[in-house]
Structure 1
Amino acid sequence: MSDSACMSEGIMRKARRIALSPDGPVVSAVALGLLAAVESAGRAGAGAGTGQPDLPLTLPLAILLGLCTTLPLALLRVHPAAAATAVTAASLLALAGYRDLTLAGLVAQLLALHHLGNRGSRRLAVLLVVPYVAVALTDPDDTVLRVYAVTAAVLSAAAVADGIGRRTRAEAVARDATERAIADTLLEHVARGERARIARELHDVVAHHISVISVQAETARLTTPGMPEAGAKRLRDIGDTARTALTEMRRLLGVLREDAGTPPVTRKPQPGLTQLNELLDEAREVGGAGARLIVSGPVSPLGPGIELTTYRIVQEALTNARRHAPGAAVDVELRYSPQALDLRIRDNGPGPDRSGSGARGHGLLGMRERVAAVGGELRAGPAPGGGFLVEARLPVDAKEALR
């Protein structure tokens, strides 16, 4: 890199630091004002160099014009539109009337328009470039005036474009950051809601079974006559272990609820198959379409985990049908058998290509996770003849079914 390039880069860095400082506009205005005054005084008696001005230019007037083209920069941060308009008006007067637009005045003009395009009114910044074009076209025979005016117009347009470009990029970055923050907030909200939901289900299902183990172990130890001491000790150990597990689970659930931001509320029992009719009634009222519950096979009580899984699958399938096939009728079929509960949910909507896209895809993922948690199987996709079909087979534990 050459010495001149290094010097130019150093000057630009210093100018940028001055402009970004709290007193940057004032410092820039004073510095450019002094330079403009010196430059105007040197050119006052020469007719602005190569061209003869239309009006006589005295030394006081030259200094005054130089100060008027630079000192308004002091108000650039507080009143950018007024400062840029004042600098432009003074510069046009100096250029068109006296051919005395100084280099310091031109720099002040570029700074004002760049700041206006970046922080102020972009429309006004563009409009303030137009007078320079008009001055360049007023007197085609005045070569000096045209050169000055065209130079000022081109540089001013470049300053405005750079200011607007920087502003547009900054707004795009800020908009992307806002969108990411909103997306992260929504994701965190959904995650907290799901953690709270899992905590409730663990409390009402798993904790119930652990409590039953503890009670049954203690009951067996106390009600079995002639039990050997070793057997009684093992039953006591089972009860103690179950109670310890229950205590640890409640402690972990407390941490999970705290992380989910769930306030203490009155606990309600988790829904099961007895609430399916209420769920279908709600679907009819909200969706305005038919919904039927068909039950076949010998009805028998199931474990709370199986019932909760069935309820959630039906709930999600009804929600998906309402979103993706509004107005479609839905049939919910339960087939009881000694080995499994077969669940079949079908709507008569359009059906094709809905299983792997959008919210329905996420809903099916949740269904599969629930079914897998109880050792079952799930199939979902377009139904033969139209519509959408969800089928699940949930194994029934014989011991659990007897409870």
Structure 2
Amino acid sequence: MSSGNTRALRPLRRISDAPESLVAAAAVLAVAETVARGGSAQVSLPVALLLCLCTTLPLGLQRTYPAATAVAVSAATLLSLVPFQSLTVTGLAVQLAVLYRLGRAGSRRLTVLLVLPFVSLALSGPPHAGTGVRVLSVLLASLASAAAGAGLAHRARSEALEHTAAQRVIADTLLAHAARGERARIARELHDVVAHHISMIAVQAETARLTTPGLPAAGAQRLLSIGDTARAALTEMRRLLGVLREDAGTQAPDRRPQPGLPQLIELLDEARDATGSGTRLIVHGPVTALDPGVELTAYRIVQEALTNARRHAPGAAVDVELRYGEEALRLRIRDNGPGASGHGAGPDPGPGHGLLGMRERAATVGGDLRTGPATGGGFLIEARLPIRTKAMSS
């Protein structure tokens, strides 16, 4: 609504939100106008005074009973116009204000029903009425329709703003919940992978210091320092994990172990059940138990690749290939969907950041990841993750 229209509606808003003093002033003005006119052939002065009070005094109940006030004022206005022809200017202003307030209150059906008699009267013309009354009928119908429409528009705009605010609150809540979940997941992965390695450093340093024959005192001191540093780092990490879990909320922590390559079968079964499409796992080379961090990274990359395929190429078949080598584990995930046009050329803006998230995961273990259209159609994701076996990490 333009600023000019807003300024034009200010008097209606002030009257529709009228305090008792304004109601009294409106009644006094209406009475004064009626007395100044005096009686007529259509109506005696006492009846005219009664009608003018009926069109103004109900305004005091406007805030509490907008519907009843609008009905009472509209009935009095119609009687003042037809057959008594004694409508005052103050009564006209009050009529417009109550219709505007009724529209703001959201009573759409009643607002339309109260406007219809004025429109009908303007179209048909009051019986045995002069030109002035006919013009007043048309003016009243036009102004009543405009006031009611303005009130309904104000209500619709308020509801739209409330809906937008509610949607924003919901979105913020979902983002906060997702952030807490991500912090909890990071805490679990740090505990299961990084804390394990730090513990092994402390254990191996202590073992080497106590079991290495002929170890110089300086070497023993360095090993002792390594063990102490590892234990201090482990203590600090546990403190940070506690902070992450506190930030993640009061929900019970997930005690399940972090997934690895043995859980890929279950992951592919879930994807197959969810989409009804063909999903295959192909393994090349002897299966080797790898470092937990590498296995977790491989699992997360496959998980995100399946999610991307389900989102951008629904119904497409997906092949997941694992190739165990002497120096690296190679992943190859391919679908037969629309290719890069479906997956998008840039990073996925959704949760986990899609392709960017997979590249970052591969980089954390010293690997790399490539994506793009596959030869013959579809989309291809290839990752190389350096192998560190459990024996090596221990």
Q: Distance in 2 between matches of 1:87 and 1:122?
A: 17
1:369 aligned onto 2:369:
no
Structure 2 counterpart of 1:91, from 72, 77, 100: 77
Structure 2 counterpart of 1:130, from 110, 116, 121: 116
Larger deviation, residues 272-281 vs 340-349 = 272-281
1:207 aligned onto 2:207:
no
Report deviation, 1:276: 1.9
Q: Distance in 2 between matches of 1:400 and 1:144?
A: 104
Matches within 5 A, 1:2-401: 20=17, 24=18, 26-45=20-39, 47=40, 53=41, 55=42, 57-136=43-122, 137-138=124-125, 139=127, 142-265=130-253, 267-356=255-344, 359=350, 362-397=353-388, 401=392
The alpha-carbon distance between structure 1 residues 223 and 281, as it changes in their structure 2 partners (threshold 3 A), is same
Report deviation, 1:262: 5.0
Alpha-carbon contact 1:196-1:262 (below 8 Å) kept:
no
**1:327-363 superposed Cα distances (whole Å, 9 cap, x missing partner):** 4332211112222211001223343512226759932
Larger deviation, residues 343-352 vs 386-395 = 343-352
Report deviation, 1:266: 5.7
* Counterpart in the other structure of 1:5: none
Task: Name the aligned partner's letter for residue 154 of structure 1.
Answer: S
Q: Distance in 1 between matches of 2:108 and 2:269?
A: 58
Query: Aligned residues, how many?
Result: 381
- Identity between Structure 1 and Structure 2 (%): 63
SS at match of 2:320: strand
Q: Distance in 1 between matches of 2:129 and 2:29?
A: 31
**1:233-292 superposed Cα distances (whole Å, 9 cap, x missing partner):** 211111111111111111111111111115343622211112222322333334333332
Q: Distance in 2 between matches of 1:401 and 1:345?
A: 28
Task: Name the aligned partner's letter for residue 64 of structure 1.
Answer: L
Q: Distance in 2 between matches of 1:122 and 1:399?
A: 72
Q: Distance in 2 between matches of 1:383 and 1:349?
A: 10
Report deviation, 1:17: 6.3
Q: Distance in 1 between matches of 2:382 and 2:351?
A: 15
Alpha-carbon contact 2:15-2:94 (below 8 Å) kept:
no
Unaligned runs of 5+ in 2: 1-6
Task: Name the aligned partner's letter for residue 37 of structure 1.
Answer: V
SS at match of 2:302: helix
SS at match of 1:129: helix
Report the TM-score when normalising by structure 2: 0.88
Larger deviation, residues 232-241 vs 110-119 = 232-241
Q: Distance in 2 between matches of 1:160 and 1:200?
A: 60
SS at match of 1:97: coil
Q: Distance in 1 between matches of 2:338 and 2:352?
A: 16
Larger deviation, residues 342-351 vs 88-97 = 342-351
Q: Distance in 1 between matches of 2:270 and 2:133?
A: 80
Q: Distance in 1 between matches of 2:198 and 2:393?
A: 17
Q: Distance in 2 between matches of 1:150 and 1:58?
A: 25
Root-mean-square deviation over aligned CA pairs: 2.6
Larger deviation, residues 378-387 vs 103-112 = 378-387
